[in-house]
Structure 1
Amino acid sequence: METALPTRKEAFDLLKEFNTSDSLIRHGLAVEGVMGHFADKFGKDREKWQIIGLVHDLDYERYPDQHCKKTREILMARNWPEAYIRAIESHGWGLCSDVKPESLLEKTLYAVDELTGLITSTCLVRPSRSVLDLKAKSVTKKWKDKSFAAGVDRSVIQKGAEMLQMDRGELISETILGMQAVAEAIGLKGNL
């Protein structure tokens, strides 16, 4: 049977089927926005990158002990392309997966996943509560405070930046731009 490419609607419906948490759905939307931004920056397939970003944590709410692994089973049952499944598995490399990011898409997803969490946390402690007026230096300042957003694995972000051969500041700035494009959908438009 030939594998059909999933649509954005199918991906979003699947995300909502397996996740009821608003924060996990917003996180999927944030990573989707950032992946679309990077796809444009690198001249790659925007829709593919966004769909993978949207569902990268598909199994996290229901199967936290099998995160990155259960998604393979779910997506194979729905006949998703192997490249999409592998990319999703690779975002947890060294944490919940042995699949090392190799393609540009995989390295990007690996680099931005944790970073979107740090950026979101930074926005929520600012007076504006918005990503629209956020600058990379504010995120960098919070980066240094290890007790702030302590669940964010900064070493993953740093390794991801190195994989992409990007300066960490540039990675932060570009990720902010991707999140700004979806600010309303991810609840970070704030009071601007």
Structure 2
Amino acid sequence: MNSEGTVRADLRELGKSAIRAEVAQRAIALLDERGFDQTTVEDIAIATGISPRSFFRYFPTKEDVVIGDLMAMGLLVEAALRERPADESPWAALRASLEPLVRTAAGDPANVLRTTRVAMSTAGLRARSIERHTAWAAVLTPIVEERLTATSAHPSMAAGALAQSALACLFVATAAWAEADGADSYGDLLDEAFAAVGTL
């Protein structure tokens, strides 16, 4: 593909991403208002001004409107963890690596709260969120393991335990933040959850 063709393809992809983000934002607002199980893809299509067929060009399932970008956020966490100082404890580094999520919530609290409320509203969505966190753990564990190689007899197992525990703290703190409708500081809740586990 020549450079002009590459630019056109990039612009098309940029346009598709912008439309996808707009559809997701409107869909989340509707799902939060009516309830996830009570809202159909047809309802979302009407509210967003697209056809059901077009909806499925942007999202494979209704669930993906809610949790589709979680892996992208996981990559931000991975990058943040890699940048932590080498002499920082693994537990402190894991907590610090979640700051991109705190900044995202602070930057658009209303939208993030809506998305979180919907994600926590059904057993199926909660399971999908945990499934994505398991994928995050697979990415984070090798980075944590590098910090433990000289101090642990079984660094892979210890790193997995730390990564999974950190993500459990994230899940619990996020649920508490949503339940309080954002009244409590998301960062403070994460600190409290990490401190509770860290003192055991």
TM-score, normalising length from structure 1?
A: 0.32
- Higher relative contact order structure (alpha carbons within 8 Å, sequence separation ≥ 6): 1
- Larger helix fraction of residues: 2
Larger radius of gyration: 2
